[in-house]
């Protein structure tokens, strides 16, 4: 890994794909946990191996994109991977899609700009990535997720963070009520999200921050409920 190299943040920022979000998207990513691998090994935050063969691929930049909110649950972690040649040129891209991952470069490289930067569409509310927007239209619950299904999954706590923040018995109910207030109609038009350099941290830093953020969010929702206020208030 190269995360201890003083230039890792600049390298990752230079290559981070352009993210296109729906105009009605109510949420924004909070942080991006970066890992740079220079040899074959497991992703630190996604169930997959990343191959560095030293010939076509000299290194892989993993971007773990963290959101406090997904429209159906609290906590969301999506991923993008940029594969670099030993000389530092982008040779491939992959991105997470509902627990799996897709190729991040569309046929004909239609999502690669003149500057070589890759653009990825972000599913409204759910934040799965795709190099082509039409992919989302194939999802049977695309519009249900942002409407009637808002909040249905409560609080998501992955195995790697088990027991670290979902401690309140009423956590799921609080999250469900809160997220119902963010229901929205998908616009179907997309605009670029502007990343900032300070959003990029190492994966280990992000892994430490997530439970702190989630505990604080759930505490605030609990306090709102106890005070008689609506937990549908936008406190994020």
b/e per residue 90-118 (b: at least 16 CB within 10 A): bebbbbbbeeebbebbbeeeebbeeeeeb
Percentage above 70 pLDDT, the chain: 95
The overall average pLDDT reported for the chain is 95
pTM: 0.95
Residue 143 and residue 125: Cα distance in Å, rounded?
10
Average pLDDT in the 127-153 region?
Answer: 98
Q: How many CB atoms lie within 10 A of CB 10?
A: 12
Strands 190-193 and 129-130: unpaired
Q: Could you read off the pLDDT of 35-60 as tens digits, one per residue?
A: 999 999 999 999 999 999 999 999 99
Average pLDDT in the 83-108 region?
Answer: 98
pLDDT of residue 228: 79
Residues sharing a CB contact under 8 Å with residue 45, sequence separation 6 or more, in sequence order = 33, 35, 62, 64, 77, 79, 160, 203, 207
For residue 170, give the nearest of 155, 184, 180, 191 by alpha carbon.
155
Q: Could you read off the pLDDT of 194-235 as tens digits, one per residue?
A: 999 999 999 999 999 999 999 999 999 999 989 877 776 545
Q: If you write DSSP's letter for every residue of 72-115 in order, what string do you get?
A: TEEEEEEEEEEEE-TTS-EEEEEEEETTEEEESS-GGGTTB-TT
């Amino acid at each position: 890994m190269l995360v201890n190299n003083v230039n890792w943040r600049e390298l990752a920022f230079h290559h981070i794909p352009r993210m296109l979000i729906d105009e009605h998207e109510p949420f924004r990513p909070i942080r991006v946990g970066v890992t740079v691998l220079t040899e074959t090994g497991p992703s630190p935050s996604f169930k997959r191996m990343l191959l560095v063969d030293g010939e076509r691929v000299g290194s892989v930049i993993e971007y773990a994109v963290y959101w406090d909110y997904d429209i159906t649950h609290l906590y969301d972690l999506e991923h993008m991977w940029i594969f670099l040649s030993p000389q530092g040129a982008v040779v491939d891209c992959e991105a997470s899609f509902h627990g799996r991952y897709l190729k991040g470069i569309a046929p004909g490289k239609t999502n690669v700009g003149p500057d070589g930067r890759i653009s990825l569409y972000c599913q409204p509310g759910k934040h799965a990535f795709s190099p082509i927007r039409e992919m989302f239209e194939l999802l049977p619950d695309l519009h249900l997720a942002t409407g009637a299904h808002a909040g249905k999954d409560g609080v998501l706590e992955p195995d790697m963070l088990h027991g670290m923040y979902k401690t309140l018995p009423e956590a799921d109910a609080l999250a469900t009520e809160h997220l119902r207030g963010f229901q929205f109609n998908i616009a179907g038009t997309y605009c670029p999200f502007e990343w900032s350099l300070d959003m990029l941290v190492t994966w280990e830093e992000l892994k430490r921050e997530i439970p702190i953020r989630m505990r604080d969010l759930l505490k605030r929702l609990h306090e709102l409920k106890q005070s008689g206020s609506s937990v549908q208030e936008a406190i994020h």
